[in-house]
C-alpha cells in the first residue's frame, strides 16, 4: 500500500475509498478513464445511486502521448495540487477543490466538475459565455497580480518561487512554444505545404527569430507571478454560470503575459477557425463578433480591474511611492501578451501539439489557408507588440489583417 502503482479503472475505486472513504457502502459505482491529456491518467469514480463523484488524476513518469522514451518527473503532480490549493483560495473556488494529494502515488483526488464543458469545445460549437470575461479577468488578477512582488511580501514570494521551480515542464514550453516551431525541428507536427511557407515567412526571418528569442528569455528569466502555465481554452471548464480552470501542472513563477497570451491566442484561433468552418453567415458573424468583443474585453477589463484594486493591494514600498508604476507594469504585460499570443499561434500550427480549432477544419484548402493566415497574423503580433496597449489594438490587428471591418 505504500508503494507507487499505476491506477486503472479496476483499482481506482478501492484506492479512493482507502484514502478518503468517500462513498457510501451501498454505492452503485462506475469508474471510467476520462483523460485525453498527454501527461497523466485521469479517472472519474461515480456513485450513480447518490450522484456523488470524484476525479482521480495520476501523473506518470513519462509523457503519455509519446511513451516511456520521454521521461518526466512525477513531482509535477505535487506542483499541480499545491497550485490548485493556492488558486482555490485566491479565486474563491475557480479551480477544482483538492480533496487529497498522495505523495506516494502522485495522485490527486479532487472535485468532479459536472455540467461543465471544455471551453474550446464549447466555442467550436459557437456557444457564448456571458460571465466569462468577468470571471477570467478576476482569475487573472487574483492569481497573477496578487502573487507578484507588487503585492506579496518579497521573502514569501521568493519561497513560492523556490517551491514552484518546475524545470521539466518549463522545458516543454521552452522547446515546444519558444523554439522548435521556429526551425525545422524533428518533433514539429507540420504539413508538407507548410514547410516552404515557414521557411520563407518564419524560419529565415532573422528579425522575427530575434524577437521570439527575447520572448523566450522573458519566459525563462522573468519570475513575475505564479502562473498557471498552460491557460488556453482547453484548460478552462465553462458553462453559462461559471468557470473552473484546470490542469495547472506547468505552474511556475514566470511572466504574467504568458498566461494571458496563451488565452488570447486560443480565442484568436477560434476566430480564424469560425471564419472558414461556419456556413451559417449570421451565426458566423455573431460568433466572430463575440470572440473579438471577448478578446477586447478580457484585456480592457483586466486593465481596469488592476487599476481598481491597485491602491488596495499594493505593498511594495516603492510602488506605493510611484503613481505611474501601475501603467508601466500593465503596459508591459499587454505588450508581452501580444508577443506570447503570436508564439502560441505559431506553435499550435506547426509545433508538436495542435488545436482542434485549426486541425478540425474539414476542408483541406480552407485548413491550409487558415493555418497560413494564423502564422502571418501571429508574426504581426510578435513584431508589432510594442504598439499593443489596449483591447482594441488586439482587435484592430486581427480585423485589419483578416480584411474585415
d(CA 145, CA 92): 15
User: In this structure, are residues 386 and 214 in contact, taking their beta carbons and an 8 Å threshold?
Assistant: no
Task: Determine the 3-state secondary structure of 114 from DSSP.
Answer: coil
Q: Give least dist CB 394 to its own copies, A.
A: 25
The mark string for 81-110 relative to its own copies (x by CB under 8 A, - otherwise) is ------------------------------
Least distance from its own copies to the Cβ atom of residue 11, Å: 33
C-alpha of 297 from chain center: 18
Q: Which stretch binds its own copies (CB under 8 A): 14-22, 91-99, 153-161, 307-315?
A: 153-161
Q: How far apart are CA 385 and CA 215, in angstroms?
A: 11
Residue bearing cell 499541480: 80
In the complex with its own copies, the residue whose CB is nearer, 20 or 210, is: 210
What 3-state class would DSSP assign to 232?
coil
Of residues 134, 325, 376, 399, which one binds its own copies by CB under 8 A?
Answer: 325
Q: CA triplet 293, 294, 300: central angle to 5 degrees?
A: 85
311 binds its own copies (CB under 8 A): no
Is the distance from CB of 346 to CB of 375 less than 8 angstroms? yes
Q: For residue 42, what are the β-bridge partners?
A: 57
Residue 317 is a binding residue for its own copies (CB under 8 A): yes
* Phi-psi group of 67: left, alpha or beta (phi > 0 → left; psi -120 to 50 → alpha; rest → beta): left
Considering only CA atoms, give the Rg of the chain. Answer: 21
Q: Which of 162, 281, 282, 405 binds its own copies (CB under 8 A)?
A: 162
300 near its own copies, rule: CB under 8 A: no
Q: Which of 303, 250, 297 is nearest to 141 (CA)?
A: 303
183 forms part of the interface with its own copies (CB under 8 A): yes
Decide: is 165 part of the binding site for its own copies (CB under 8 A): yes
Lay out the site mask for its own copies across 214-253 (x = CB under 8 A, - = otherwise). Answer: x-xx--xxxxx-----------------------------
Whichever of 214 and 404 has its CB closer to its own copies, that residue is 214
**Pairwise CA distance, residues 55 & 58, whole Å:** 10
The answer to whether residue 62 forms part of the interface with its own copies (CB under 8 A) is no
Query: Which of 263, 280, 261, 273 shows the shortest CA–CA distance to 356?
Result: 273
Query: How many residues bind its own copies, per CB under 8 A?
Result: 42
Task: Find where cell 501601475 sits.
Answer: 326
Instruction: Name the grid cell of 392.
Output: 482594441
Examine residue 321 and tell whether it contacts its own copies (CB under 8 A): yes
Least Cβ distance, residue 194 to its own copies (angstroms): 18
**Residues 112-151 interacting with its own copies (rule: CB under 8 A):** 149
Site for its own copies in 184-213 (CB under 8 A): 206, 209-210, 212-213
∠ CA 239-243-249, rounded to 5°: 130
Cell numbers 500550427 correspond to 349
Pick from 40, 135, 179, 266: which binds its own copies (CB under 8 A)?
179
- Among residues 114, 121, 240, 322, the one that binds its own copies under rule CB under 8 A: 322
Residue of 266, 281, 270, 277 lying closest to 365 (CA atoms): 277
Instruction: Calculate the alpha carbon distances from 264 to 7, 275, 348 in Å.
Output: 36, 17, 13
- Please choose, out of 42-50, 120-128, 156-164, 366-374, the segment that lies near its own copies by the rule CB under 8 A: 156-164
Burial class (CB in 10 A: 0-12, 13-18, 19+), 177: buried
Give the interface segment with its own copies, choosing from 24-32, 167-175, 283-291, 373-381 (CB under 8 A): 167-175
Strand partners, 53: 46
Residue 336 makes contact with its own copies by CB under 8 A = no
Nearer to its own copies, 50 or 214 (CB): 214
Minimum distance of its own copies from residue 163's CB (angstroms): 9
Q: What is the smallest separation between the CB atom of 134 and its own copies, expressed in angstroms? A: 28
Asked whether position 324 contacts its own copies by CB under 8 A, the answer is: yes
- Give the nearest distance from C-beta 174 to its own copies in angstroms: 6
Which region among 7-15, 45-53, 88-96, 316-324 touches its own copies (by CB under 8 A)? 316-324
CA distance 392 to 297: 9
**Site for its own copies, rule CB under 8 A:** 149, 154-155, 158-159, 161-162, 165-168, 170-171, 174, 178-179, 182-183, 206, 209-210, 212-214, 216-217, 220-224, 316-319, 321-325, 328-329
Amino acid at each position: 500500500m505504500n508503494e507507487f502503482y499505476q491506477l486503472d479503472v479496476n483499482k481506482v475505486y478501492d484506492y479512493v475509498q482507502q484514502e478518503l472513504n468517500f462513498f457510501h457502502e451501498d454505492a452503485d459505482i462506475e469508474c471510467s478513464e476520462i483523460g485525453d491529456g498527454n501527461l497523466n491518467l485521469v479517472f472519474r469514480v461515480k456513485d450513480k445511486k447518490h450522484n456523488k463523484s470524484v476525479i482521480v488524476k495520476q501523473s506518470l513518469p513519462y509523457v503519455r502521448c509519446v511513451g516511456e522514451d520521454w521521461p518526466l518527473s512525477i513531482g509535477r503532480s505535487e506542483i499541480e495540487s499545491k497550485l490548485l490549493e493556492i488558486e482555490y483560495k485566491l479565486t474563491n473556488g475557480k479551480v477544482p477543490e483538492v480533496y487529497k494529494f498522495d505523495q506516494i502515488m502522485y495522485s490527486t483526488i479532487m472535485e468532479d466538475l459536472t455540467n461543465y464543458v471544455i471551453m474550446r469545445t464549447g466555442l467550436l460549437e459557437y456557444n457564448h459565455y456571458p460571465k466569462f470575461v468577468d470571471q477570467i479577468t478576476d482569475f487573472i488578477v487574483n492569481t497573477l497580480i496578487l502573487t507578484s512582488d507588487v503585492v506579496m511580501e518579497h521573502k514569501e514570494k521568493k519561497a513560492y518561487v523556490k517551491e514552484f521551480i518546475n524545470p521539466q515542464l518549463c522545458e516543454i514550453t521552452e522547446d515546444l512554444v519558444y523554439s522548435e516551431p521556429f526551425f525545422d525541428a524533428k518533433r514539429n507536427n507540420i504539413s508538407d505545404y507548410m514547410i516552404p511557407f515557414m521557411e520563407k515567412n518564419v524560419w529565415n526571418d532573422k528579425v522575427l527569430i530575434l524577437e521570439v528569442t527575447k520572448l523566450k528569455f522573458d519566459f525563462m528569466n522573468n519570475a513575475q507571478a505564479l502562473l498557471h502555465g498552460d491557460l488556453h481554452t482547453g484548460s478552462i471548464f465553462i458553462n453559462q454560470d461559471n468557470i473552473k480552470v484546470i490542469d495547472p501542472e506547468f505552474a511556475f513563477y514566470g511572466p504574467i503575459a504568458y498566461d494571458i497570451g496563451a488565452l488570447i491566442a486560443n480565442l484568436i484561433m477560434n476566430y480564424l477557425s469560425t471564419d472558414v468552418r461556419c456556413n451559417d453567415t449570421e451565426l458566423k458573424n455573431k460568433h466572430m463578433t463575440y470572440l473579438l468583443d471577448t478578446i477586447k474585453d478580457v484585456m480592457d477589463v483586466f486593465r481596469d480591474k488592476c487599476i481598481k484594486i491597485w491602491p488596495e493591494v499594493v505593498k511594495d514600498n516603492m510602488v506605493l511611492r510611484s503613481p505611474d508604476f501601475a501603467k508601466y507594469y500593465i503596459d508591459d504585460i499587454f505588450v508581452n501578451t501580444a508577443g506570447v499570443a503570436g508564439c502560441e499561434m505559431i506553435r499550435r500550427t506547426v509545433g508538436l501539439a495542435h488545436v482542434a480549432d485549426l486541425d478540425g477544419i474539414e476542408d483541406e484548402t480552407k485548413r491550409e489557408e487558415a493555418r497560413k493566415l494564423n502564422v502571418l497574423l501571429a508574426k504581426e503580433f510578435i513584431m508589432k507588440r510594442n504598439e499593443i496597449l489596449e483591447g482594441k489594438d488586439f482587435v484592430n490587428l486581427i480585423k485589419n489583417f483578416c480584411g474585415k471591418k
